[in-house]
Copies of this chain bind each other. A is one copy, B any other.
Amino acid sequence: MTAEAGTRLRADARRNRDQIMAAAKEVFAELGPDVPMEEIARRAGVGVGTLYRRFPDREALIRAVAQENFGAVLDDARAATAEEPTAWDALVRLMRRSRDLRLSVRLAVLSPSAWAAMRDDPQIRQLRDGIMAALDDLVRAAQAEGVLRDDVGPGDVAALVSLLLRRVPADSDATAELIAERALVVILDGLRADPGSPLPGRPVTIRDLGD
């Protein structure tokens, strides 16, 4: 990363790289961006040396992982927009799928240094902007459909999603999953246009979230 152009990797090297990325996603999401590099290497089943040859330092690894994640979410956002029958449905799908963003959000929120590494990467920034733009469109469209309440802004939705990324304490991973799903449905119901109480303040935009 940062610079790894032309040279094709040897087959085993390629495999190791993928394992490292997978392990990094897991571990970052689970323990945050400050986990020892050795932990990542261990889970990937490789030595630390291998890790460092592929990614010059922790920051590079973070960037690589964030890129892949944001990319996946952006792809899905576009797919959802194209495939789902209504904007509301697409929005729901996006929010649900966004759990894959969990990682990136954790990275962004937990560690200032990780966040800095990300915001300075133009490619990541571009992906993020793309996601936000898609979200913006979906919110507007869903409101035009009359399903999404009018007094929320894309920023509100983004914030709500980021809340859902929190790991709730539960006695097992399965119930944690269930709880998260139920929470999502509750929130979706809260986002419906129905009666509801008026929200305080003005709709929150993406820009309100800070860059």
By the criterion CB–CB under 8 Å, are B186 and A156 in contact?
Answer: yes
- From residue 160 to 211 of chain A, which have CB atoms closer than 8 A to chain B? 160, 162-164, 166-172, 175, 178-179, 181-183, 185-192, 194-197, 199-201, 204, 207-211
Query: What is the oligomeric copy number?
Result: 2
Asked if A152 is at the interface (CB within 8 A of a chain B CB), the reply is yes
Contact B167 A183 (CB under 8 A): no
Task: Please classify how large the interface on chain A is, using the bins under 10, 10 to 19, 20 to 34, 35 or more.
Answer: 35 or more
A-B contact pairs, 17 of them (CB 8 A): A108-B169, A152-B186, A159-B179, A159-B183, A162-B166, A162-B169, A163-B168, A171-B208, A178-B200, A178-B201, A181-B201, A182-B201, A186-B187, A186-B190, A187-B187, A189-B189, A189-B196
Residues of B within 8 A of A189 (CB): 189-190, 194, 196-197
- Which residues of B sit under 8 angstroms from A211, Cβ to Cβ? 171
